[in-house]
A and B are shown apart, each in its own frame.
Chain A
């Protein structure tokens, strides 16, 4: 293999290529296998609906593929993916109108159940309640909670992902957790 040639003119053989010189398509597949599901779930926590979450994460993977030559490392790629997911979720929410959000909340699904989808209604309701509560939190609190408690990121990792100080991470996390508890306690009592 001619290692001196720029990567965009010669395609290295896949076999025997060390991980650090993965090409972008192999990287994409590996990253997809390792992170797709979890990142979509993270995005659901941020934007609530699955279709939008998938769009957001799909765009993030495309962005990582584009940048692979500068990333060249699975850990950095994951950090970049997370950052894309958070940023893109944010812009989706910014564009989503209040009206449509309201509609989504109101929407029942009596006609839309797939056959055999016998998921327990209680579990579904509880899930909706948590997502609704998250949606009601200030953006930063929601992001910090999702990264800390779902992604298990450290304070430092969250600070880097969001571009805020560790102190800010700490205060968003504790306020967010407290707010979530209050909202969910109210919901439970209301039932």
Chain B
């Protein structure tokens, strides 16, 4: 290889490596953290309310230690507050991040509009299982907000509930070193099972684990739960050791879950778009629309995979142009080839929607 060839070869390698690295990350969209940064560097204790017109005092920050303390404080209040019992999930305008309320800068950046994955408990033929809802929110702390909603928020679907005590507060939730670290605070008896059976307590923890992992969006990261209430050795009657893992989805999740339509959604066109995930025999998903318990339409669709062991996505569009205005219920079901003769029968999920 002469020197010219070598140079050309080097250039090709350069271009190739450059393309690989750019392809790998150019579409990565980081979240907006300017608000967090401003608060972290403002030198103000975020819990202290100040006049809304006053500007942050930037140079109150001395050295790195002060800055670190501020970061911790900001993150702590970001999702903390027992009155943060998000009344509905459609409160996107008001935001559910109380730290915004104490941000004194009048040019605080808009918080990110996100669809938070939130897991709640619902009844199935096979006992209590987890169901997932997507809730619209504006927050700069999707993980903490999603967990707080899962633990003490009000689900959109009235069939769902949380097993956690209503006064538990998520103080911080962050991905650190390949784990999700979640700090919880209660009213002094978060270590007690209360009225929960040990199975319910375990399912309650899985609410937290599934929600945290989904909100972090980085796969099944182990979850470290820390509770300073009262001594951090147990939570809901279960010992707190090491990290929590996701329990087997097949025995924890309802095997079918609707992401869309949202509960109470208004449909103004001719088409109802249905979106969800299911683990079903031969990937088959059946749907039915009812009004006052009477069936008005039904059909089938197929999930992308019948892979047992995970829920795979399904989508379908249902023509609703023949339906009169009013309130309807969409029910989707997994396929039970035994017709209920074996096992628990099909899993279902339903949503109310409104034709305008």
Query: Which chain A residues have a beta carbon within 8 Å of chain B's beta carbons?
Result: 7-8, 11, 23-25, 28-29, 32, 36-37, 40-42, 44-45, 49-55, 57-59, 61-63, 65-66, 92, 95-97, 100-101, 103-104, 106-116, 119, 123, 126-127, 130-131, 134, 145-146, 149-150, 177, 180-181, 184
Name, among B37, B68, B221, B312, the residue most crowded by chain A CB atoms within 10 Å (CB to CB): B37
A32-B34, A107-B218 are contacts. A115–B58 as well, Cβ < 8 Å? Answer: no
Q: Which residue of B lies closest to A6 (CB)?
A: B59
Asked if B41 and A50 make an inter-chain contact with CB atoms under 8 angstroms apart, the answer reads no
Asked if A146 and B59 make an inter-chain contact with CB atoms under 8 angstroms apart, the answer reads no
Q: Is B300 an interface residue (CB 8 A)?
A: no
Q: Is B272 an interface residue (CB 8 A)?
A: no
Chain B residues with CB under 8 Å of A49's CB are 175, 178, 218
Asked if A45 and B24 make an inter-chain contact with CB atoms under 8 angstroms apart, the answer reads yes
Kindly state the separation between the CA atoms of A127 and B24 in the bound complex, as whole angstroms.
Answer: 4
24 contacts between A and B (CB under 8 A): A25-B42, A28-B38, A28-B41, A29-B38, A54-B30, A58-B33, A58-B36, A65-B41, A65-B67, A66-B41, A92-B177, A101-B178, A103-B219, A104-B178, A111-B214, A111-B310, A111-B311, A113-B313, A115-B134, A115-B259, A126-B24, A127-B24, A150-B25, A177-B13
Asked if B33 and A25 make an inter-chain contact with CB atoms under 8 angstroms apart, the answer reads no
Chain A proximity of B57: nearest CB distance (Å): 8
Chain B residues with CB under 8 Å of A7's CB are 59
Kindly state the separation between the CA atoms of A116 and B38 in the bound complex, as whole angstroms.
Answer: 32
Q: Is B230 an interface residue (CB 8 A)?
A: no
CB < 8 Å neighbour of B179 from A65, A100, A184: A100
Kindly state the separation between the CA atoms of A110 and B31 in the bound complex, as whole angstroms.
Answer: 22
Kindly state the separation between the CA atoms of A116 and B117 in the bound complex, as whole angstroms.
Answer: 13
CB < 8 Å neighbour of B117 from A103, A107, A114: A114
Asked if B59 and A115 make an inter-chain contact with CB atoms under 8 angstroms apart, the answer reads no
Chain A proximity of B62: nearest CB distance (Å): 8
Interface stretch, picked from B15-23, B44-52, B147-155, B280-288, is B15-23
Asked if A100 and B260 make an inter-chain contact with CB atoms under 8 angstroms apart, the answer reads no
Q: Which residue of A lies closest to B105 (CB)?
A: A25
Q: Which residue of A lies closest to B214 (CB)?
A: A112
CB < 8 Å neighbour of A111 from B14, B27, B31, B249: B249
Chain A residues with CB under 8 Å of B25's CB are 41-42, 44-45, 127, 131, 150
Asked if A52 and B117 make an inter-chain contact with CB atoms under 8 angstroms apart, the answer reads no
CB < 8 Å neighbour of A107 from B14, B31, B219: B219
Asked if B218 and A50 make an inter-chain contact with CB atoms under 8 angstroms apart, the answer reads yes
CB < 8 Å neighbour of A130 from B23, B41, B311: B23
Asked if B216 and A110 make an inter-chain contact with CB atoms under 8 angstroms apart, the answer reads no
Chain A residues with CB under 8 Å of B313's CB are 113
Name, among B22, B37, B178, the residue most crowded by chain A CB atoms within 10 Å (CB to CB): B178
Chain A proximity of B143: nearest CB distance (Å): 8
Chain B: number of interface residues, binned into ranges? 35 or more
Q: Is B53 an interface residue (CB 8 A)?
A: no
Asked if B37 and A23 make an inter-chain contact with CB atoms under 8 angstroms apart, the answer reads no
Chain A residues with CB under 8 Å of B13's CB are 177, 181
CB < 8 Å neighbour of A145 from B17, B31, B56, B213: B17
Asked if A61 and B220 make an inter-chain contact with CB atoms under 8 angstroms apart, the answer reads no
Chain B residues with CB under 8 Å of A58's CB are 33, 36-37, 40
Kindly state the separation between the CA atoms of A64 and B17 in the bound complex, as whole angstroms.
Answer: 30
Chain A residues with CB under 8 Å of B312's CB are 110
CB < 8 Å neighbour of A150 from B21, B40, B217, B218: B21
Chain B residues with CB under 8 Å of A65's CB are 37, 41, 58, 61, 67
- B residues 300-338 in Cβ contact with A at 8 Å: 310-313
Asked if A62 and B175 make an inter-chain contact with CB atoms under 8 angstroms apart, the answer reads no
Chain B proximity of A48: nearest CB distance (Å): 9
Kindly state the separation between the CA atoms of A8 and B62 in the bound complex, as whole angstroms.
Answer: 10
Chain A residues with CB under 8 Å of B68's CB are 62
Q: Which 6 A-B pairs have the closest CB atoms?
A: A107-B219, A100-B178, A51-B175, A40-B30, A130-B24, A25-B58
Asked if B21 and A109 make an inter-chain contact with CB atoms under 8 angstroms apart, the answer reads no
CB < 8 Å neighbour of A25 from B23, B56, B260: B56
Asked if A52 and B21 make an inter-chain contact with CB atoms under 8 angstroms apart, the answer reads no
Asked if B33 and A97 make an inter-chain contact with CB atoms under 8 angstroms apart, the answer reads no
Q: Which residue of B lies closest to A149 (CB)?
A: B18
* Contact string against A for B residues 121-141, beta-carbon threshold 8 Å, 1 for contact and 0 otherwise: 000000000001010000000
